[in-house]
Structure 1
Amino acid sequence: MRLKTARIAPVPDAELTADQKEALGPMLETGRVLNIFRTLAHAPKALKAFLSWGNYVLSRRNALPAREREIVILRIGFLCRAGYEWTQHAEIGLRSGLTAEEVARIKAGADAAGWSAADAALIRAADELHHDQFITDSTWRALGEHFDDKQKMDVVFTAGQYTQVSMMLNTFGVQLDEGQSLDPDLKGF
């Protein structure tokens, strides 16, 4: 975590405006609104737009299988040193078919032993997008051996979405939700 306290505090239920309640919609009905959304509720129109695009990235409309999508999200979250993002998506990754060992290995990168060629290509693409905002020809070809053009586009969309998410989380100081623990490799950032 970059900050020990929030720069922008999550909005508690008692202080939500009508616009904020509308933006948070179904989340309020479930009784569980994550700190990221309570923080973004300070800008309800932006939150609604953010949720629309985020729902695409996390839905079946994204042509990447959930496991592969989570590899990209976790790698971007780790590279951005976004402790909140990593914490949320480590759990989602496990539910999406990643093993605990694979989640941990994502931190080591594409050259760590044990990755399939497809998984290594996803991690390499995330690294290149993070560092240069561009996927090289060799990595694009490697992705093409396992993924179609729509899936390759969704790699870029996913990496871009979670780069933005990481920027917001880190800069706004969004703190972990109750009951969560920060990965030791992300402490002190």
Structure 2
Amino acid sequence: MPSIKPSELTAEQRSLDAHVRQLMAGLPAPFTSTDPDGALIGPFPVMLRFPGLARPLLEWFTAGTGASVLPARVREVAILTTGSRYAAAYELYSHSRVALDVGLPEDIIEGLVAGQRPAGMTAEETVAHDVAARLHSGAPLPGALYRAVVRAFGDSGTAELVFLVAQYAAISAILNAYDVPLPPDGD
């Protein structure tokens, strides 16, 4: 689905475009989110074409990131684990860069992108990976894993992690449904 030039956006799309750009401005790492014309890329051309569906999804994302109790590295482990399960290229591209920026080592990022459980993660990162991987297996969390995640992050952090995995599963589905390509600097 091609991007929409800013000059061609409807009023409703312009409002959503501005909201997305504000969200993107708060991310910790640079990755390409616009094309040479300044139009949003990634999942955003799809969202701009369906603003009534996209706005609630973006509000859900905003609600989950405002008062995060999860460390940034833990969040990125869960996001990359989710992206790898879906083979969502743009998600893996963008969040690999975010993960690197928040201090996740390259070898761990590469392992997560490859769908592995890399050695060298902290105990909290390992729990986040295991929760995300298990949720994508289509089965409930085993009692021992549930207790481990609650010990690591408390009830609020556990809920945040579960919702984060669900959010990025939704974004991955959108990216895959429309076969969103990588930008030229994607690897």
CA drift at 1:101:
1.7
Match of 1:53 in 2: 60
Aligned in 2, Cα 1:167/1:174: closer, same or farther, shift over 3 Å? same
Conserved in 1, the CA contact under 8 Å of 2:69 and 2:157?
Answer: yes
Match of 1:21 in 2: 14
Give runs of aligned pairs for residues 41-80 of structure 1, distance below 5 A: 41-57=48-64, 59-80=65-86
Which residue among 181, 184, 189 is the counterpart of 2:186? Answer: 181
Match of 2:31 in 1: none
Paired residues in the alignment total 172
Q: Distance in 1 between matches of 2:80 and 2:21?
A: 27
CA drift at 1:133:
5.1
Q: Distance in 2 between matches of 1:74 and 1:82?
A: 9
Match of 1:94 in 2: 100
Match of 1:187 in 2: none
Superimposed CA distance per residue, residues 76-128 of structure 1 (whole angstroms, 9 cap, x where no aligned partner): 00111101100010011112221212211223533x43233222211111111
Which stretch of structure 1 is more off in the superposition, 95-104 or 32-41?
Answer: 32-41
Q: Structure 1: any 5+ residue segments left out of the alignment?
A: 1-7, 183-189
- Percentage identity across aligned positions? 26
Which stretch of structure 1 is more off in the superposition, 23-32 or 61-70?
Answer: 23-32
CA drift at 1:53:
1.4
Q: TM-score, normalising length from structure 2?
A: 0.82
- The answer to whether residue 130 in structure 2 is matched with residue 124 in structure 1 is yes
Superimposed CA distance per residue, residues 155-182 of structure 1 (whole angstroms, 9 cap, x where no aligned partner): 10000000010000000122223x3223
Conserved in 2, the CA contact under 8 Å of 1:69 and 1:155?
Answer: yes
Q: Distance in 1 between matches of 2:48 and 2:169?
A: 19
Which stretch of structure 1 is more off in the superposition, 76-85 or 131-140?
Answer: 131-140
CA drift at 1:144:
2.6
Q: TM-score, normalising length from structure 1?
A: 0.81
Q: Distance in 2 between matches of 1:68 and 1:32?
A: 31
Match of 1:34 in 2: 41
Which residue among 141, 147, 151 is the counterpart of 2:153? Answer: 147
Match of 2:171 in 1: 165
RMSD: 2.1
SS in 2 for 1:35: coil
Q: Structure 2: any 5+ residue segments left out of the alignment?
A: 26-37
Aligned in 2, Cα 1:34/1:94: closer, same or farther, shift over 3 Å? same
